[in-house]
Amino acid sequence: MTESMQPGAPGAQSSAVGSGGELRALAFADVESAKRWVRGLPLTSVALVCETVQGQLEALAAAVFAPRERATIAEVLRDLVAHLHTELARRYAGKGQPAVDRELEAAEQAIALWHGLWEQYSMCLKPLLEGDPELQGVKPKILQRGLYVGKQLVLAYGLARRTVPSSLWHELHAYYRLAEILDCAVTAVSDNLLTNAVGISCYSTYSHALLLGLADPCAMTVKQIELADRWLAMWARKVFPYAQQRETEGPIILIDLDGGAGATLAVAAPANPAGSMRFGYPGKLATSVRGRLKRLQSGANPAELQLGHDCSIEQCTALLGHLDARWYQVPPRVSDGPVTAFELCVGGLPAAYFRVAGRSFEPGDPAGRMSFAEAQQLQTIDAIPDYDRGRDTADHEWAWEQWHGTYQWREACVVRDSDARHRWILEQLAIARSDGQVRIGFVTRVALGAEGQLGLSLRLWSCVPRPMRLLPLSTVGAGDSPLPALLLDETPDDKACLVLPPRTFNPSRVLRTLDPGRERRFRLTRLLQRGFDFERAAFEDAN
């Protein structure tokens, strides 16, 4: 809040009992001393500052302040918490799940800081309802700031690959309901923290949080989450949560203010909606998204479309397509298959080769030469056919994990109740085995549930893969090692392609097989997908 929001006189006690039972001394007694305290913090030590700020937020919640002064102090601390979250996000955002201790601690700190700040605004809500005269001129700003912090928590949970808890949605809905009651949902407010935002109000900030949740951050990369959040600062006002239904030819966004979930996309509203139901119409938003997609395909650059200078045409096209699907395309109803148990593992192309071929990948020498140690070992095992000296290590490193869930030919949605052995990352190559058949695909969603249950969504390629050892044609005799690869033959659903290790693709690069049998040469023509630990490329025969 601005200086004009400050009360006439401070009224705080200087100490409070912290949540741990010890006496915490507040480092400030009013707005001005809070500003001086913030300016004096050693921001180079993020961990220390986070612990200090969290302690002060607990003490502030237990202290007695006039509501308007509390809100103004919260505004001073909001800039600080936003800065600390940016630093913490470098440690936890988009990391694999289950998270390691350092990542887990950073995510918990970020979420705790935003919750601690949210409590300060929530403590002003009762005085708002009671008509506190000092708050009459700043009602929209206090409510918008509370909604902003709730939106930031949706963002933090998404960056941490966690589902948004129902308690957070309940709180966000309560804030917006209060904005409706106090007749300030559409009142414009200023916000120095959002320099590029347009038309900021309680409803636009609330819609921002709802649309961010509807976009499903757990299925988006960190870059995509950051871009979507930035774009929504401009676009969120295009969706208003109406209390009454309106005529529409497109899908509708449904929000239940009494529910514990965010927004959902539906073909039509229910026949007899409850009074707590709100209705959003994403037609204008879809026009903005699809118009930009069309212009990008015509050669426009992202900057001139107000998408930013730090994103490529490919990145923007992929994200806009995802957002259009989440905000305006109601997915067809698919009957889930029965819940079944099956096995998964990850480890890039070496792991996929091992699980598909049934033996570990051994690069060897392209010319067939053996080292002295290999020759000695061969003499000791010449009586054992098809000896695989790397099998035990590969079996241990890329062990199968037991999962359960629904399994379709192209899609799988699975969960695991206990800690997973492997680290699961978005767009990671995944190997699945069910009923003895091995399939490959990639991870499309990673989400840690409120009860600690890890959930994955996988996209599986339709063809059963064939393992291959490939060598770049130009490096024959140069001593370079062969590459593990998987060939996916053409099917009615997919064109033929090669799954290769990262940084393998170069246009017109030729790879030849090293496996016994007929030699085959592949000329790479187009990069179809760049995943976390693989590339998928189209090819033409170069024999």
pLDDT at residue 497 in the model: 96
pLDDT band at 371 (very low <50, low <70, confident <90, very high): very low
**Token pair belonging to 206:** 């609330």
Instruction: Kindly tell me if the per-residue pLDDT of 228 is higher than 70.
Output: yes
pLDDT at residue 408 in the model: 78
**Helix then strand then coil, % of the chain, to nearest 5:** 40, 20, 40
3-state secondary structure of 36: helix
Query: Whose CA is closest to 530, among 328, 312, 310, 331?
Result: 312
Q: Which of 7-16, 243-252, 436-445, 501-510 has the lowest mean pLDDT?
A: 7-16
Q: Which helix (H) or strand (E) holds 60?
A: helix 46-62
How large is the average pLDDT for residues 39-51?
A: 91
CATH 3.30.110 holds for 340-368+388-460: no
How large is the average pLDDT for residues 469-479?
A: 71
How far apart are the two ends of the chain, measured CA to CA in Å? Answer: 70
Q: Are 239 and 281 in contact (CB under 8 A)?
A: yes
Cα 464 to Cα 442: distance, rounded to the nearest angstrom: 14
CA distances from 538 to 267, 488, 489, 506, 524 (A): 37, 10, 11, 11, 6
Bridge partner list, 526 = 538
DSSP secondary structure of 61-122: HHS---HHHHHHHHHHHHHHHHHHHHHHHHHHTT--BSPPHHHHHHHHHHHHHHHHHHHHHH
DSSP secondary structure of 119-182: HHHHTTHHHHHTT-GGGGGGHHHHHHHHHHHHHHHHHHHHHTTBPPPHHHHHHHHHHHHHHHHT
3-state secondary structure of 255: strand
Parallel/antiparallel/unpaired status of strands 497-500 and 15-17: unpaired
Name the residue ranges covered by the structural domains of the chain.
Answer: 340-368+388-460, 466-541
Instruction: Kindly tell me if the per-residue pLDDT of 399 is higher than 50.
Output: yes
Q: Which of 59-73, 101-115, 369-383 has the lowest mean pLDDT?
A: 369-383
Instruction: Kindly tell me if the per-residue pLDDT of 50 is higher than 90.
Output: yes
DSSP alpha helices (H): ranges in 182-330? 202-214, 222-235, 283-297, 313-328
**Token pair belonging to 293:** 């997609």
pLDDT tens per residue across span 312-363: 999 999 999 999 999 999 887 655 667 888 899 999 999 999 999 999 998 7
How large is the average pLDDT for residues 149-173?
A: 97
3-state secondary structure of 242: strand
How large is the average pLDDT for residues 522-533?
A: 95
| AA letter at 474 | S
Instruction: Kindly tell me if the per-residue pLDDT of 370 is higher than 60.
Output: no
**Token pair belonging to 234:** 């401009």
3-state secondary structure of 221: coil
Using N-to-C axis directions, what is the helix angle for 139-159 and 101-122, rounded to 10°?
170
pLDDT tens per residue across span 181-199: 999 999 999 998 887 788 8
Cα 157 to Cα 114: distance, rounded to the nearest angstrom: 11
pLDDT at residue 176 in the model: 98
Query: Whose CA is closest to 209, among 232, 182, 184, 186?
Result: 232
Instruction: Kindly tell me if the per-residue pLDDT of 237 is higher than 60.
Output: yes
pLDDT at residue 410 in the model: 85
More confident residue, 10 or 101: 101
Phi/psi of residue 60, nearest 5 degrees:
-65, -40
Cα 366 to Cα 465: distance, rounded to the nearest angstrom: 23
Return all residues near 410 (Cβ < 8 A) that are at least 6 apart. Answer: 459, 460, 462, 493
Q: Are 412 and 406 in contact (CB under 8 A)?
A: yes
pLDDT at residue 148 in the model: 98
3-state secondary structure of 17: strand
pTM above 0.85, yes or no: yes
HSE, side-chain direction, 13 A CA sphere, residue 324? 15
DSSP secondary structure of 461-519: -SSPPEEEEEEEGGGTTTTPPPEEEEEE---SSS--EEEE-TT---TT-EEEE-SSSS-
pLDDT at residue 230 in the model: 96
Q: Are 323 and 405 in contact (CB under 8 A)?
A: no
Return all residues near 70 (Cβ < 8 A) that are at least 6 apart. Answer: 60, 120, 123, 124
pLDDT at residue 473 in the model: 83
